[in-house]
Structure formats: C-alpha cells, structure tokens
Amino acid sequence: MLDPAGGLLRFNGQTWDIQNNAIFRARFEKYLNTPEENGEQESAHRETLNRIITLLDPNNLKPQTLTDAYRLLARAAGYPGDSRLSDTLANAIYSVWGAKRNQAKMEEANQILEDENARLRRNMAVRASAEEFQRVPDGKVGKGGNAPTATAPGQQTTPPPPPTSGAPGGLTLSNKSSSPSGAPTSGGSGNSTNATTAQVQLPGGPPSLPGASDGTDAASKGSQTAQSTLASQSANGIRIAGYAEKLVENSLRVKANSLKGGVSEMQSKIEYQSLLVQLFMQRRFHHVIIGARFYRALFGDGDARLNLPESSQNPFSKGSGLPMTIATLESLCNEAIREVQTGVQAFHKLLEIGEIRSASERLRDALLVGEFLPEVRTLPFERKRKVLAFVQKTNQLLSAIEVKDYTLASDLINGPQGLRVTASDFDATKPSALIETARNAARLLLAKARNAAISGDKPSFETALKEAATIWPNNPELAEIASKAFAQGDQMAQTLLELDQLTAQKNFRRIAEEAGRFLAATQTAPPEKQATLKKILEDFKSVEAALMAAQEMDRQGNPAGAWESVDRTAQKFPDDLQLNQARALYTTKAADFVRTVQTAQEREKRAELAPSLAWYLKAQRLYPKSDLAEEAVKRLKSQLVPEAAH
C-alpha cells in the first residue's frame, strides 16, 4: 500500500519512506533520464497485448480464440520491453496443457481397467452360481427326480442302472461256457463260480462289470462321482480367487491413476498461480490479466483460489482478511492500471500550471505503482527533464540535511536558483526550521566554549566544542575557533611526532640538544612517552661524561685511559656517532694497549685462559691504572686457581 500524503510505502509488514530513501531516489532519477519508449515496435506490442485480452473475453471465448491468443504471446515476447515474460507465460500454459493431456491418458487407462473389472465381476458371478447349484444337501431330490450328484462343469450325470432282464430299454445276453470237464453249466442267476457272465447293454443303460452285483456298481459309481465333484469345486474356487485378485489389482491401479492425475493437475495449478503472483509483484499487470483469463479457460473446475503458502498470500489478504483468488488479482491489476492513468493525467496538468513539486510527486507515485505500463514508459522525455532539475535539487537537499551541511542546505532553498524560486509550490517549512534550530544550538555551544577558554577550563572547552561540532560539523564559526584554539596543541603534537622520529633513528644527541622543547611537549603526553624521554636524557648524560673524561685523559697524555673510558660507554650505546669517532681516535693513539687488550679478549673467548691472563698482565703493565685489565686479571685468576679467590 502507498500513502501519497506521507510518502510511505507499506509492504509485507515493513514501511519505507520513498522520499528519503536512496534506492527510490536513484530509481526515480534513472527513469527521468531514460528516453521514452515510442515507435512502431512499442505500439505493436501494446496492440498485441490488447488483442490477446480481447480474444480471451469470457463472453466470446472459443477453442480457436484460445489458440489464437496463445500464438500471439510469442509475438508479444519479441518486444525488448516485454522482458520475454510473454514467453514465460506461454511456457506455463503449455505445461498446463501437458498436464491435462497426461490426465486424459490416465482417465482412458482407468476406463479400460473399469471394463476389465466388469468382465471379471461377470465371470465371478457365473462361477459362483454354478458352484451353488452343485452344493445340494444329501437326501434331497435334484432336478429330474434323480438323486443329486456333483458333476464337473460340462459333464453329464450318470443315470441309475436299468433292470438286468425283462426291463424296457435294455437287453441282456448270457454266454454260458462249459466246465473244464466239458459238462455244461445250468442257467441260473449266477451262483456257479465257474460261470462267466458278459452283459451287453443297449444304448441308454450303463455298462455292467463282470462278476459285480447291482448294489456294488452303484456304490462304486457314487464314490467316483463324489471325488469328481470335490475336484470340480476346488478348481472353481481357484478360478474365483484369481478373478478377485485381478479385480483388486485393477481397482488399486484405478485409484493410483486418479490420485496421480489429481496431483499433477494441482501441481500445475500451483505453479501457474505462483507465476501470476510473481508477475503481479513485478507490476506486469497486463500479463497478470492475460494469465488470469487463460487460467479460467485452462481450469474449468471453478476453483480460482490461490493454493499458495499463507506467507505468500499475506501481502494481499492481511488487510481484508479475505482469501485471495484469481479474480482478486485481476481486479487489483485493473485498479492499479487505472491509478497509474489518473496519476499521469494529473502530472501533465500540474506541469502545465507550473507546480513542479506536485507534478514530480504524482509522477513518482505512478512510477512506483506501474513502472512498466505504457502510460509511464511513453511519457515524453522533454517533460521528464523539467522535473529532473527539481528532483536533483531536492535529493541534494536531503543529502545535505542528512550530513548536517546546513550552509549548502540553506543555499539550495533560498539561493538565486533555489527551490523556492524554481518551484512555487515547494514547501520549505520543515527544512528551514531544522536549519535554524541547528544554527542556534551551535552558536550557543560556541559561546560556551569561548567562556571556558577564557576561564582556563580546558575540559569544559573541549566538551562544548565537541557538542557544537556534532550539531553543525562544517560551521564556519566553529572552524575559526578551532583553528585558534588548537594552534598550540597542534604545535605540541608536531613536537611529539618529531620526538618519535628521532627516537626511532636513535638520534639521542638531537633530543638532548632540544630537551626543553621535548620536555614541554610531553607534559600532557602519556606516562610511557615521558619515561622514554627521561631515560634518553639520562643516557645522554653518561655519554657526555665519558667523552669529557676521555678528552681530559688525552690532554694529560693518557690515551690508553681515554680509549678505555670511551670503549666502555660505546658498548652500551653503539649507535652514538661521537662515541665511535672518539674510540677510533684513541685507538690510534694507544695502539699497543688496544691491540694487547683485544688479543687478550680473543684468547679468553677461545677459552685459552692462561695466554689470555698473560696478555691482560701485559696490558696492565702498559697502563697500570686500567680498570678493564684489573677486572680481567681477577676474573681469570679465580678460574685458573680457584683457591686464590679466597
């Protein structure tokens, strides 16, 4: 939401001041310096988008118009200002069509499976009815008045055997054979064991087994029939179980296909809705309207709610509390387009009457809402340039106030080419009040600093001066007072810097020569620097004392003593130039003594104690008052003859 009165932009719970924000100011200046987008290509692109919206009118929508609108998206994508967003929208529509085709294939496969299930159910019903017919309870009469017997499908039931003789429908022939002795057997009812009876039945009667009675034949045949019935029932049950298994498998496939198709459609719908929301965030309102109309044609289920995460819908539904739909997005786009159109119209009118400030604000608001709409992109460059000078000065004024450069801010407002002159409707109340308040506060603090300086209150002076600099850093009066107040302090700072340089160079003689200046500079310096200067001066005193003693000894004709005095001090301060020069001079004058001492020192370093002692004794003979030779002799004696030390 944009609040034009306060220049505040609120989005997703955050607020930006577009009048005092570097990002918004820079973007507005970039737009004002960009030539307008006029020409045949821009007009063709605008006509293409309007043509697509017309083809997708719900009142005239047909399959052919939908196809024509889809083809026009490729033409619209060729315009550079389109940023290939029409192509992106076309790709999203193609993906939805692909999902639709996939869903149609799933439905076709489900229909085939449903037909197969219907056939399986019919087969199961036939098998179940046949098995039920065969399961008649024992002792009851089945169809045809015969005793019920279980038969396998397709088999005929065996009728009861007819009478053996004299019965209608059958004829029995007896063949009597003679005994082994050749005597004929008597024709009876089969009592003779030697008689073999062969019975031949005419069609319609069962065959008789030789030597078996009628009762035995019936029992045997009943047992065989029962076994055959059980086998037939078992096979029938297996077939029914197979049908049931196949039926369940097909039903699961139908459910899986239906679920897969539903998920595919929902996924394509979410992706398409996400693209529409993204286009809305990019302020591509014409593309959103086109996408919304395509959505209604692609998804005819009537479900136009945004199936996006709640965080994505908050910017739209947070104020109203109502669920967001495709129709809401389209309505917001139409409202935004109308808002931009009225804003641009107001800009032209205000610019004509000379109210540049109001004209720039209306143009800024229109740019913020619909940066890519034709009304904004085709605005004449000459009219934008009239606003650019005013905008640049206002941005400069904001920057000057931000860094507290009130001198520049005052010139931008009240100067010969100031904002009050170039823009008659410019409101300078707030910046002028801010500038005057800062000036008065700074003047009061500077007066306080002068009083503190006169009274010698250095802490109060520094505090007041610091506060004045915080309020108005580049105040000319502050610069004048600071230059006078810190002249002395600057000189002391330079002296301290020189002291650090001389110390690093080990030029202690120069420090000692100007000891008074350095001591004054270190009065307010840290204690460490004061201690360093004190040690340098003490060391220099010892150097001067050694040089003076050497000069006196040399004057008295004792160059060996002069060399020894200088050599001891030079070992402590090897970088002192005068010490090194004096040692070289006295080395030449007392060459024998120096050579003898150096030889003794070298032998002592090589642990040749006895020869070293001999050379030190020789040096002692050359210069009996030599402290260096005496100390060396005592040291070597204690090492060669330990008991001599006691």
pLDDT tens digits for range 202-219: 333 444 444 444 544 555
Ordered strands of the 8-11 beta sheet: 2-3, 8-11, 14-17
pLDDT in the model for residue 224: 61
Closest among 230, 193, 227 to 210, alpha carbons compared: 193
pLDDT in the model for residue 262: 55
Question: Would you kindly state where each structural domain of the chain is located, as residue ranges?
Answer: 35-134+220-307, 428-485, 486-579, 590-646
Q: CB under 8 Å to 49, separation ≥6 — which residues?
A: 76, 286, 287, 290
pLDDT in the model for residue 2: 54
* Helix pair 356-369, 326-352: axis angle to 10 deg: 160
pLDDT in the model for residue 636: 84
Q: How do 8-11 and 14-17 pair as beta strands?
A: antiparallel
pLDDT in the model for residue 51: 93
pLDDT in the model for residue 144: 39
Q: CB under 8 Å to 229, separation ≥6 — which residues?
A: 134, 149, 150, 151, 152
Alpha-carbon separation of residue 156 from 127, 149, 151, 222, 566 (angstroms): 18, 10, 7, 14, 148
Closest among 574, 583, 576 to 550, alpha carbons compared: 583
pLDDT in the model for residue 223: 59
- Over the range 262-296, which residues count as b (16 or more CB within 10 Å of their CB) and which as e? eebbeebbeebbbbbbebbeebbbbbbbbbbbbbb
Beta carbons of 80 and 67 less than 8 angstroms apart: no
Sites in the chain below the pLDDT cut of 50:
136-213, 215-216, 645-646
- Over the range 12-22, which residues count as b (16 or more CB within 10 Å of their CB) and which as e? eeeeeebbeee
pLDDT in the model for residue 178: 36
pLDDT in the model for residue 340: 93
